[in-house]
């Protein structure tokens, strides 16, 4: 059975939240993009490498990969090799991931305590 239907005595299964805490969290993160994971210079470097390998992300998004179990494996392996070499040789730009916004870990802790 996919759904659980409680009796009519249950009106709302939602979890309430503190609007003030939400406002504070939004102020802390500002314009943070939850979908971004690379700083602009690292993203630009990776896109340049992918382009040099003949990979076009827009075309790939529209196309079905030939091997659906490991799509674009050769390109991924070469990108990974070049990233490792770049880091080992300490070339510029320095490649990195974006840091989460300050306090993000604390938010998860606060939220988990509220749900308990």
pLDDT in tens, 17-47: 788 887 887 777 777 777 788 889 999 999 9
The pLDDT score that the predictor gives to residue 29 is 73
In a domain, 57, yes or no: yes
In a domain, 111, yes or no: no
Q: Is the pLDDT of residue 113 over 50?
A: no
Per-residue confidence at 98, pLDDT binned at 50, 70, 90?
Answer: confident
The pLDDT score that the predictor gives to residue 111 is 43
In a domain, 115, yes or no: no
In a domain, 70, yes or no: yes
Q: Is the pLDDT of residue 7 over 50?
A: yes
What's the structural domain count of the chain? 1
In a domain, 82, yes or no: yes
In a domain, 63, yes or no: yes
Domain enclosing residue 45, as ranges: 37-99
In a domain, 30, yes or no: no
Residue 53: burial class (beta carbons within 10 Å; 0-12, 13-18, 19+): middle
In a domain, 105, yes or no: no
What average pLDDT score do residues 71-97 get? Answer: 91
The pLDDT score that the predictor gives to residue 67 is 64
Q: Kindly state the percentage of the chain with pLDDT values over 90.
A: 29
* DSSP track, 54-110: T--HHHHHHSPPS-TTSTTHHHHHHHHHHHHHHHHTTPSSPP-PPPPPTTHHHHHHH
């Amino acid at each position: 059975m996919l759904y659980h239907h409680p009796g009519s005595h249950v009106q709302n299964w939602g979890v309430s939240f503190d609007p003030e805490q939400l406002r504070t969290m939004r102020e802390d993160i500002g314009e943070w993009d939850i979908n971004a994971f690379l700083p602009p210079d690292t993203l630009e470097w990776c896109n340049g490498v992918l382009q040099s390998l003949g990979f076009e992300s827009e075309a790939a998004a529209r196309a079905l990969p030939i091997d659906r179990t490991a799509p674009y494996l050769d390109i991924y392996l070469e990108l990974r090799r070049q990233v490792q070499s770049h880091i080992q040789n300490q070339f510029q730009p320095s490649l990195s991931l974006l840091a989460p916004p300050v306090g993000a870990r604390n938010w998860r802790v606060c939220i988990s305590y509220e749900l308990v």
